[in-house]
Structure formats: structure tokens, C-alpha cells
Amino acid sequence: MQLLAINGSPRRHMNTGTLLDQIVKGAASKGADAELVHLVDLAFTGCRSCFACKDPKGKSYGRCATKDDLSPILRKAHEADALVLGSPFYFSMETAFMRACMERLWFQYYLYTAKKPPLSPRKKATALVYTMNIKEGQIAEFGKDVVIKRSKGVMEFLFAPCEVFCCCDTRQVEDYSKYEFDVFDVPAKLQRHKEVFPKEMEQAFALGQRLVQ
């Protein structure tokens, strides 16, 4: 079994990266070949709308024709038995890194015809991991439920049932005294991070185990 986790956060070792690392460790504990990729380390673009992936007579049919640092990651995602995409919410959307990755990953498989199914591997276990600084009860208020539902729907259309893992009210920085953060209850955030985040790490570890079983 192969699991690939892709981190869309520009910070490799903060909330999103930490949870994805636990998913990878959980998968590895079950004997899977598990890897975590950080998009911030790569030089790549979003979809160029060249439509080469839509040409049934072309050499890139069903696969992204753009060649850059994301190309080998898309190949790994195609071959993996389990795929996890993780991103913090920036202005109620996935990060620019993750959006560009999603464009390239998703569009290569999608066909503008009802006569054929998508060109994606249809039995791939998948999950979406989202981190955000708002509380769970505010997800709908800020429209993030719509984004989650949309991305989950695409993952399930292309692959298989997709599990969603949301981590809310996150600690944004290690030292809040350096910045202006007066709209947040900083002591409460730090206390939550100390008490709740370790439990969420355990849940992420268990998710990694489930995805490869």
C-alpha cells in the first residue's frame, strides 16, 4: 500500500503539516509506504488550460502535460492507493499552493462527455485535512462548509469516498506577543492547543491507519 499526503501550507511544520505527518506515521505503522510532500518546496503553476489532457489521440490524455516540480507529485498521486490533501484556510479558501495543485490534479482526469467516466483511478482512498483559526461553530458562518463540500464532492467524483478532518481554533504562531492578535482570546487558544491538539494528532494517526486498511 502506498499513501501520499500533500501539504498546502506555506509552513512545513505548523498545524497542517503536523497533522499530515501523523497521518503518514499512522499509515506507516500498518506497513504502508507513506510519504509527505510540502508544496512550498516546489516550483510549479496551476492549470494552464492547454487541454492536452482532453485529447484522446494525444500522449497526455488523462494526464497533466505541464512539466515542472509538481509533475512527479501528480504521478505519485496517480499511483498511490491513498491520497490526502491538507491545507489551512486563507480567506475561507484553500491556500494558493493547494488550489494550484487541485487544479492540476483534478482537471487532468475530468472529461467533458457523459459517454465516459473520469480518467482517474476510481478506487483510491482519500481524505481532506483542513486547519483554521475559527471555532467549529463558525465554519458555516464564514462559508467554509461550502468549500469543504465542493472539494469533497470532486474527490469523491474522481476517486472514492473522501473523509474530511477539520482542526479548528488553531494556534497561528508560537509567540503571540510579537504580533497584533487582539481579536482572539490568545490564552484560550494556547490552552486549547495544549489540551486538544494532541488528541487531534492521535485522530490523524488513526486516520492514516484507516486509509491503508
CA neighbor of 85 nearest in space, from 177, 157, 7, 181: 7
Report pLDDT digits (tens) over 127-186: 999 999 999 999 999 999 999 999 999 999 999 999 999 999 999 998 999 999 888 899
Question: Which region holds residue 48: left if phi is over 0, alpha if psi is between -120 and 50, else beta?
Answer: alpha
Report pLDDT digits (tens) over 55-71: 999 999 999 999 999 99
Measure CA 2 to chain center. 16
pLDDT band at 122 (very low <50, low <70, confident <90, very high): confident
Q: Cell 509527505 sits at which residue?
A: 36
Please classify residue 4 by burial: count the beta carbons closer than 10 Å to its beta carbon, then call 0-12 exposed, 13-18 middle and 19+ buried.
buried
Assigned C-alpha cell, 132: 483554521
| All structural domains of the chain with their residue ranges | 2-211
**Three-state DSSP state, 79:** helix
Please classify residue 99 by burial: count the beta carbons closer than 10 Å to its beta carbon, then call 0-12 exposed, 13-18 middle and 19+ buried.
middle
Q: Which CATH superfamily is domain 2-211 in?
A: Flavodoxin domain (3.40.50.360)
Report pLDDT digits (tens) over 20-57: 999 999 999 999 999 999 999 999 999 999 999 999 99
28, 153, 187, 195, 212 from 4: Cα distances, Å = 11, 20, 35, 28, 11
